[in-house]
Structure 1
């Protein structure tokens, strides 16, 4: 059985847990979200997308 979880949902859960256990302040969470939002509008977004795709592909390959 294969379970797929969107990366955005996974990152949102991690962020929620960090906020819940006070490992990350609300201001830092907002700054990280804004950084990601603005990074998506730059030319670096293609590189970041390729990196995340490669890492998730490698992690998927480990389980086989």
Structure 2
């Protein structure tokens, strides 16, 4: 289950990077903001999962 969560979080981060870059290329502030939100959200979820694993040991 943690592998699936990790992959989902990495996919969200990647999706955010792509969306943010698409927003930069097209000049769309909405896409940049949405991409940044996805990227940061995925990164925070990854960090939280990593911290949780560290405290389980």
Normalised by the length of structure 1, the TM-score is 0.39
The higher radius of gyration belongs to: 1
TM-score, normalised via structure 2 length: 0.43
Larger fraction in helix: 2
